[in-house]
Amino acid sequence: MTAPCPHCGTTTIVFTPSEAQFEAVVRALANGSKTLAAGEFRYFAQCTDAEATAWVAHLLHCAHAWPQAGADEAVLAQVEAAFAGVDKPDHFTDRTHCDECREHDDTLRARTRDTLHRSDLGNAGWDPITFSSADGIGYFFPALARFALLPDVWPQHSWYADQLVLHLAWDGSDNRLLAWCNPAQRSAVHALLAHLAATRGQAAVHHQFDEELQAALAAWQMPTA
């Protein structure tokens, strides 16, 4: 049986792998093989090659397709509540500035929070969020937070937590998103950063952005009463 994803609308087979089965799929993806990941899923779900390939493609495109631990979902719920009222801006960049700004604006305008793909976010050298206005980042922030909590399984892209932390650490207390956010949003961003430090701290060390993570935490720390 197939059904559309309630978030991005992609139609895929309805099958929920066990934790061990899902870990096997993730290991295959982390090793750079979408083919092996689809093969693992096909074996578990007893589906066709085409159905398995489509399921893996959906997993790699839609941040909502991934199961999340309870603690992850709690901090994501805080983020989504804090940013829920942010409307999608008409434009995200100064598209008249250069061809790169126009391309990044086109990429972000074509997506919503639910349809944003990891591939849309590029790498540190080609990242549309770098060029986005603060309200544009605020609109997409719930999706960015979800991608940051996913494992490092995109061989052509860096682990997204690394990119997001760099955005949040940039300019310290003068960070443009920090200046734009209200207290509830600031608290939610800090909660996400603290959760990353608590649950992905060793990965941050491995990816060599632990200092940036600590700098972001310091910048986003809410002042005491």
What is the domain partition of the chain in residue ranges? 9-61, 70-220
Could you tell me where the beta strands, DSSP code E, fall in 5-152? Answer: 11-13
Question: How many whole angstroms from its chain centre is CA 79?
Answer: 12
Does the pLDDT of residue 222 top 80, yes or no?
A: no
User: What is the rounded distance in angstroms from the CA atom of residue 106 to the CA atom of residue 57?
Assistant: 23
What is the model's pTM?
0.91
What is the identity of the amino acid at 134? A
User: Exposed (0-12), middle (13-18) or buried (19+): which is 114, by Cβ within 10 Å?
Assistant: middle
pLDDT band (50, 70, 90) for residue 206: confident
State yes or no: pLDDT of 52 exceeds 80.
yes
Q: What is the DSSP letter of 92?
A: S
In this prediction, residues 24-40 reach a mean pLDDT of 94
Among 23, 34, 86, which residue's Cα sits nearest to residue 60?
34
pLDDT higher for 67 or 143?
Answer: 143
The pLDDT score that the predictor gives to residue 224 is: 55
Tokens representing 72 are 């992850």
